[in-house]
Each structure stands twice: as C-alpha cells, then as structure tokens.
Amino acid sequence: MTNELPEDPLAGMKIAITGGTSGLGLALVRELISRGAEVAFVARGRERVERIAHGNKGTHGIVGDVSIKEDIHPIAIQIVGALGGLDVLVNNASDLGPVPLELLGDTPCEDLERAFATNVLGPFRLTKALLGALASSAREGHGGVVVNVSSDAALTPYPRWGAYGTSKAALHHLSQIWDAELGGDGIRFVSFDPGDMDTPLHALAVPDADTSELKRPEMAARELADVIAGVLSGRRRDGCAQDEALKESPYDGSQVAHSSSRGREVAGR
Amino acid sequence: MMAARWPIHRPADAKLLVVDRQGKIQHWLRSKFIDLLRPGDLVIANDAATLPASLAGQHRQSGRPIEVRLAGRQSLSANDFGRFSAVVFGEGDFRLRTEDRPLPPILAVGDALELGPLHAKVENVLHHPRLVSLSFDGSPDEILEGLSRHGRPIQYSHVPTPLALWDVWTSIAAPPVAFEPPSAGFVLDWQALASMRAQAVQFATITHAAGISSTGDPELDALLPFDEPYKIPESTALAIRRTRDRHRRIVAIGTTVVRALEHSAGVDGTVRAGENVATQRLSAASTLRIVDAILTGTHEPGSSHYELLRAFTDALTLFRASQELDTHGYHTHEFGDSVFIERDEEREGRSNNEADEQAGGAPVLASQQA
C-alpha cells in the first residue's frame, strides 16, 4: 500500500451487471468501461445483448434471465469464466410487477411472483452462486462487493407499487443481512437507491411523467460507480479483507450515503 | 464401501475417520471437523467451480451418438478456452456404468463432433481410442455459453438422478475450471468458515482444474490424474509462508490441494504465487514438503487418490483405515463420508519441532511395515 491516491479504484476491476441493456444498467456498463473496468453484463434479449456487446468493445454480453433458476449457474459460469474472476456484482435487473401499476388487492399473484423472482430470488441465487468468486477477490484484497439496486419504494409504502415495493424491501433486507453475515469474509453489500430516473421501467410505471423532472440514468450510473469506488478504496486502505481491522475501518457505508437529490446508498451497517 | 447415492453435500450423519500422526484411528461426526483444527492452522481448499463437462452429441463422420467428457486443459486462462483433452464414450449416458460403456466410433484426426450448439474437431488421438484432444469452434465467450447451456455435470451411475450444477458446486466455487467437483470441499459452508475464523484458524484457497476421476477403462485410469493446471493466489502463498514460519499446520481440503501445493514446492520447498501445471503423481515415495494433514473422501485402494494418501501414512495404517471404513459403514465417492489424515511423524518433510511438541505425548510404536 502506498500513500499516493491510486488511479480510479474501478480500473481493472472485474464487474458484472444484470439488466445491462437498458436504463441504469446500460448507463452503468458505459460508465464502468469508461473508468477502466472489465465488464460482463446480463440481459434476456439476445439481439440487444449482442448489439450492446458489439458497440462496447471489450464487454462480455451474456444472455440469461435471473428470474429462472436454471439460468443462474450458466450465467455465473459465463461471468466468472469470461472475466477470469469477479470483484463486483451489481444486481440491477428489476421487474415492476403489474403494468399498469395496480392496487395490491388487484395485483395478479403471478405478477407478484414474477417481481419476487426477478427482484429477490434472482439476486439471491446469483449472488449465492458467485459468493466464492467474491470471497476470493476479497481475500486477494481486490474487491468483493455486491450492489443491490434498491428504490425508495423499498422503504416507503407507496400505494400501487405493492409488487415492486415489497420485493425491493425484501432485497434491501437481504443486502443488510448478508452484509452483517459476510463482513468477516470480506464481502460488502450495498443497497443503492438511484432515485427516480428517466428509464424504460419508469415510463412503464408512470407513463405521463414529466421526464425533464427525472434524473438521467447516466447521472445515477456515475453516482453508483462512485459508491463502488468508495467501497473499493476503503477496502484498499484497510489492506487484507480478512483483517479484523476491517470492522473498524474508517470507511463506513453511512459516510457515502448521499443526499436525497443524489443516489442514495443505504448502508448495510 | 457403499457408494453415496444422493447429492447431499453435508448430510447430518456424515462420518469422518481420523488418523493421527501416530496412526491412531478414531471415528468422528464430520460436522465436528473444525474441532480437529488448532489456532494458527491454515486450511486450504480448492475453489474451482465445476464445468458441465459432459457433452452429448454425435460423431459427424459416422452419424453415431457419443458422449464427450472434457477431462483436461493446459492452462486456466480465459483466453485459451477452446482446447481440451477429452474422454469419448459411445452410445448411452451416465446410467450405464462407465465400465460397460461402448467405445465411441473410431475417431481420427480432423473428425468433427457436433455437441449441441458446439462444434469441435479432433486434433489428436492420444494413445487410446477413447482419449482425444479437441479444439472447439468459436470465441471463448461463445464456447463458454455453449458449454454452460448444453453441458451436464459429469456423472457416474452410482447417483441415480441427473445432477444439476448446484449439486456439484462447492459453497466456495469460483472460477469454472474443474471437470469434476473438488468434492472434499463439500464439507465447507459459510458457517464453517465463520467458525474457523472464531477459532483463529486461517482459511485460503487455490484454484486447481480437477480432472476426470475415472474412465471405466483400466488402461486409461492408470494414466490418471492427467496434468492439471492450477493457480496459487498471492494471499495464499503469503499465508503458507507465515504459517510455516510459525510452525503451524497446513491442512489441505482434498487431494487437488495437495497436488498443487506440493508441485509448487517441488523446486525449492517454497510455494510460489502464480499459475503452473501439476504433472507429478504423489505416492508412498513422495515427500510432503508443505501439507501436514488432509481432509478428503474415502478413497478406495488402487485409485490414484488412495496412492496419494500413502504419502501421508504407511501402508498398514491405510489398510487398517480401509478396514474401519468398511466395518463402520462409511460411504464412498463424491457425496460420501470423509477421512482426515495427519502426515505421520515418520514422514517429516520439514523441520516442524514446535508442531511435534504441540502434538504431545510419546510416539506410539509407529514402525509398521507392510
């Protein structure tokens, strides 16, 4: 460890992003490449995956659906195989629930199940399949960070956002419990709320929104990348992640939590 | 021993046969294995994830069905993902014992194999009609996708239901480079790692591309294990150095860890970080320079894994252990019970005085010769 500030802590990091062909995910793919990371991204549609992989040289596009149990290990193999390891996982792929939004009493069970499959079970399964790679990265002092993309709907019970809100609340809690359990293994979990963005998902939820009022996904992507960089540079200051000192590290999630106008990281601890 | 038939990683009643440095044998519940460890011990596991390395398809020239089992690679590099050694079977699948599997059609250099979305060419036939080297068409990403979608875990007939990838991945599985699971690692879960930490037992990993364990063909089995690439991370090399300086024990989870560490130390006794290819076979004649104890499966006499155990202890002790495994109803194979064997005190690969003192007690008569 030197005293000099290193280059962007994202440079050379091996990062995987789900839902990487639109909205925040796509903006994040581009942001991370521009900052020197090695990126693999996952999405369902082959045509879009191939187009975006082609248009962003050096990225690895992976076709898969995180809501499907049988897709998880093939996705994990391709992520770790292509990148040769994994330092950071961003669980970004999200399902809104019923479109248009409905009161919970009117929400078809299948829509709730799909929202949970994509927003909770998918991130749970994929993270679980990748814990070994993330722990290995942490032991080497590189990374070991999982970002779960959350929402203010995870904390505030907005009417008509029931499927999305309950599933994001579960994901938020998942992040916190995992962060508490795996800190000793050097893996950090971050629950990140990007705010209301001008994305396809938001357009489905609020078709008549004034998009000029919404945050650009590129801005949220930059904030999210900064949060990851903050966790990574905290990791480097602390040295080996297995070191007990990590627990009392000067970096604490709450210190990078942003004001409500910016991306909000809700720290696990 | 009976084969374990169900793909359960940590059955509550899994057994552990313990052989200490004096050759004394005890029976433990495997879930208690952490109690065998001492503060300062370094436990090292293989973090290779298992590829779905069984590929069903057909031999284009004859049109006949085949099963290709990928068996080895020359490096772990993500860019060099397309050339494999492979064992080829004729018609049938895992439900037929490998010993009974028909030979594949006669394979010649240049022959094309159509394996679902994957296309491979026979580059070489390696001294046996089943053993070939293959090169796959496509970019590394395309081959990875085809493998991960079309491949199935390599499986043997003792497990009756088809295995899924989650059945063969250890909790710590990371880079997908193993062809069969480094199954000793099934003993580990995240609770075990936390418990070790609480007892000041250190944990580290290596990555070793565990190859195929059995082909059903005595001539081929005699060649096992094939060469296996491995990688030792910086943090692991450092932890080994510190552990040895402090005269604490290095405990390997599985034979692949022993093979990699001892290969790396083969030059001058030092384990170096980086990638290499393990080519050696460990046996009674081998001196262990690094590993003090191994936790592994219940290997049967005659297998290369059993031969490796002879580097830890003498033939008579292993014979007694095998008898105990039989009489106490231990299960064998990848989902079976386990053994924990300390390198016996007659086989000091290195100066280890402090560890000797810690072990305590006068050595039991340990002069058995087979």
Query: What ipTM score was computed for the predicted complex, to two decimals?
Result: 0.92
What confidence category does residue B302 fall into, taking pLDDT thresholds of 50, 70 and 90?
confident
What pLDDT is attached to residue B349? 57
Q: Cα distance from A154 to chain B (closest Cα, Å)?
A: 28
Contact criterion met (CB < 8 Å) for A80 and B144: no
Q: Do B145 and A62 touch (CB under 8 A)?
A: yes
Distance from CA of A233 to the nearest CA of B (A): 18
Domains of chain A: 14-267 (3.40.50.720)
What is the least distance, in Å, from the CA of A240 to any CA of chain B?
A: 9
- Check CB contact of B136 with chain A, cutoff 8 Å: no
Taking 50 as the threshold, does the pLDDT of residue B51 lie above it?
yes
Which of A39, A139, A243 is the mutation pick for testing B, counting most B CBs within 10 A?
A139
Mean pLDDT of B335-358: 70
Residues of B in contact with A74 (CB under 8 A): 145, 148-149, 165
B289: confidence class by pLDDT, cuts 50, 70, 90: very high
User: Mutation test of the interface with chain A: which of B46, B190, B208, choosing the one with the most A Cβ atoms within 10 A?
Assistant: B190
- Partners of A133 on chain B (C-beta within 8 Å) are 173-175
Cross-chain residue pair B175–A139, CB shorter than 8 Å: no
A141 contacts B175? CB cut-off 8 A = no
Q: How far apart are alpha carbons B254 and B209 in whole angstroms? A: 13
Q: What is the mean pLDDT of residues B116-125?
A: 97
Q: Tell which B residues from 182 to 221 touch A, by Cβ distance under 8 Å.
A: 190, 193-194, 197, 202-205
**CB contact (8 A) between residue A131 and residue B77:** no
Q: Are B49 and A63 in contact (CB < 8 Å)?
A: no
CATH 1.10.3470, domain B54-150, yes or no: no
Structure-token pair, residue A193: 């709320």
**Type and span of the H or E element at A147:** strand A145-149
What pLDDT does A5 receive? 53
CB pair distance less than 8 Å for A181 and B170: no
Give the A:B interface size as CB pairs under 8 Å.
97
Provide CATH 2.40.10 ranges for chain B: 54-150
pLDDT at residue B101 is higher than 70: yes
Contacts of A46 in chain B (CB under 8 A): none
Domain B2-50+162-353 matching CATH 3.40.1780.10: the answer reads yes
Catalogue the active-site residues of A: 164
pLDDT at position B80: 78
Strand, helix or coil for residue A190: strand
Strands (E), chain B: 2-3, 15-19, 25-29, 42-46, 49-50, 54-59, 64-72, 83-89, 112-115, 118-125, 131-136, 176-178, 202-208, 228-232, 250-253, 274-278, 293-297, 331-332, 338-342
Residues in chain A with CB shorter than 8 Å from the CB of B170 are: 132
Region class of A152: left (phi > 0), else alpha (psi between -120 and 50), else beta: alpha
Q: Which of B176, B233, B234 sits opposite A81 (nearest CB)?
A: B176
| Shortest CA gap A262–chain B (Å) | 34
Q: What is the pLDDT of residue B163?
A: 96
Test A77 with B147 for CB contact under 8 angstroms.
yes
Q: Residue B78's pLDDT is what?
A: 80
* End-to-end Cα distance, chain B: 22
Q: Which residues of A touch B (CB under 8 A)?
A: 60-63, 70, 73-78, 80-86, 129, 131-133, 135-136, 139-141, 181-182, 184-185, 240, 242
Answer whether A77's CB lies under 8 Å from A35's CB: no
**pLDDT surpasses 70 at B368:** no
pLDDT given at position A4: 54
Q: What is the pLDDT of residue A237?
A: 63
Is A132–B173 a contact, with Cβ atoms under 8 angstroms apart? yes
Judged against a pLDDT cut of 50, whether residue B369 lies above it is answered with: no
What local confidence, expressed as pLDDT, does residue A200 receive? 92
Give the distance from CA B103 to its chain's centroid: 26
**How far, in Å, CA of B249 to CA of B243, rounded?**
7
Across the interface, whether the CB atoms of A78 and B205 are under 8 A apart is answered no
Say if B106 is an interface residue toward chain A (CB within 8 Å). Answer: no
What residues pair up with B208 in beta bridges, in sequence order? B230
User: Between helices A122-139 and A69-83, what is the axis angle to 10°?
Assistant: 30
The structure tokens listed for B140 are 């590394």
pLDDT in tens, B142-193: 999 999 999 999 999 999 999 999 999 999 999 999 999 999 999 999 999 9
Least CA distance to B190: which residue of chain A?
A: A182
Bridge-based pairing of strands B49-50 and B54-59 is: unpaired
Instruction: Provide the 3-class DSSP secondary structure of residue A239.
Output: coil
Average pLDDT over residues B250-261: 98
Residue B97 phi, psi dihedral angles, 5° rounding: -55, 140
Distance CA B168, CA B113 (A): 26
State how far the Cα of A179 lies from the Cα of A175, in Å rounded to an integer: 6
Q: How confident is the model at residue B348 (pLDDT cuts 50, 70, 90)?
A: low
The identity of residue B242, as a single letter, is R
Integer Rg of chain A from CA: 18
To the nearest whole Å, the CA of B123 is away from the closest chain A CA by: 23
Nearest to A132 among B49, B52, B77 (CB): B49
Residues in chain A where the model's pLDDT stays below 70: 1-6, 236-269
- The answer to whether the CB atoms of A132 and B78 lie below 8 A apart is no
Inter-chain touch A136–B51, beta carbons under 8 Å: no
Q: Which residues in chain A have their CB less than 8 angstroms from residue B190's CB?
A: 131, 181-182, 185
Contacts of A143 in chain B (CB under 8 A): none
Average confidence score pLDDT of chain B: 91
How many other CB atoms are found less than 10 A from the CB of residue A140?
20
Asked if B140 has any chain A CB less than 8 Å from its own CB, the reply is yes
Q: What is the pLDDT of residue A6?
A: 58
The pLDDT, as a whole number, for residue A249 is 35
**Looking at the partner chain, which of B81, B173, B235 has a beta carbon nearest the beta carbon of A81?**
B81
Predicted TM-score of the model (pTM): 0.91
Residue B81 pLDDT grade (very low, low, confident, very high; cuts 50, 70, 90): confident
Residues in A touching B47 (Cβ below 8 Å):
132, 136
Flag whether residue B26 sits within 8 Å of chain A, measured between CB atoms: no
DSSP-derived letter for residue B197 is H
